[in-house]
Amino acid sequence: MKALSNFEDISDSSIVKDNKGNLCLRLCFKTKKIAIDFTKVLGIDLGIVKPIVCSDGHMIGSGGYIKHKKLEFGKKRARHQKLKGQITQKQFRWTDDVNHKLSRELVDYCLSQGVGVLGLEKLEGAHLSNRKFRKYTWAFKDLINKVVYKAWDAGLKVVSVDPRYTSQTCSSCGQKDKTNRQKQSDFMCCYCNHKANADINAAKNICNLTVADGLNVNPTIGKASILKTQPSLVVG
């Protein structure tokens, strides 16, 4: 019933028969109008342990599951060379489906929290920042594309942020030092001793750098770049 909390009324109903001959009740719900606050910003860091890490601490997806499935597809290709092309296509469809689900969950979360502005890493080609700790490859550019057009379609603003040094910079005091992050998961500032999850710290920095409509939404600690909200201009 918790999943129905965003619905306020039933607009239509009908009884349909599925392909197995079972009768099903189909209900159409009216959704509640959700107020979007364009002063409320969420910074997003794309991570390894969790594919999507939000600046408020919310995390989406499982990097362990993704890595496991990728290894499974690789083993199947090695065992069945004649079916290599089919297995690759199946993996492509699986990757596309995972990114659709991850992006949908993120945008739904933004709407549930009234977030109006989404700060995303700006890609340079197909690469993301902080490749040192990325132990497997993933279609991160495709994920960002899907987040962008879903967010834009939902009426959210999207801002592209230069992610350089966001993994080395303290989100508390703003000091940058490459020794601040020595492990994948842990961040500790050598200046103010601030401790945090490394991905959440990076997401907070992205949030701090987010600029909307030419104005810094949050106090900036570095350089950010404006990105218009049309999907065709968000990635390239």
Please answer whether residues 56 and 39 qualify as being in contact, where contact means their C-beta atoms are separated by less than 8 angstroms: no
The pair of structure tokens assigned to 61 is: 């997806």
Between CA 41 and CA 179 the distance in angstroms is 28
Would you place residue 45 in the very low, low, confident or very high pLDDT band (cuts 50, 70, 90)?
very high
Look at 87-101, 119-133, 198-212 and tell me which has the smallest mean pLDDT. 119-133
pLDDT of 134: 53
Long-range CB pairs of 102-106 (<8 Å, 24+ gap) are 102/51, 102/52, 102/60, 102/61, 102/143, 102/146, 103/143, 103/146, 103/147, 103/150, 104/150, 105/52, 105/60, 105/61, 106/44, 106/52, 106/54, 106/60, 106/147, 106/150
The pair of structure tokens assigned to 123 is: 């890609």
pLDDT over 90 percentage in the chain = 38
User: Is it the case that residue 228 has pLDDT exceeding 50?
Assistant: no
Secondary-structure percent of the chain, ordered helix, strand, coil, rounded to 5:
40, 25, 35
Domain ranges of the chain: 1-33, 35-234
pLDDT of 230: 33
pLDDT of 175: 86
For 88-99, the pLDDT digits (tens) are 999 999 999 999
Please answer whether residues 32 and 107 qualify as being in contact, where contact means their C-beta atoms are separated by less than 8 angstroms: no
Q: What's the chain's average pLDDT?
A: 79
User: Is residue 164 classed exposed, middle or buried when 0-12, 13-18 and 19+ CB atoms within 10 A define those classes?
Assistant: middle
pLDDT of 220: 40
How far are the Cα atoms of 9, 76, 107, 212, 222 from residue 88, in angstroms, in the given order?
A: 44, 10, 29, 40, 41
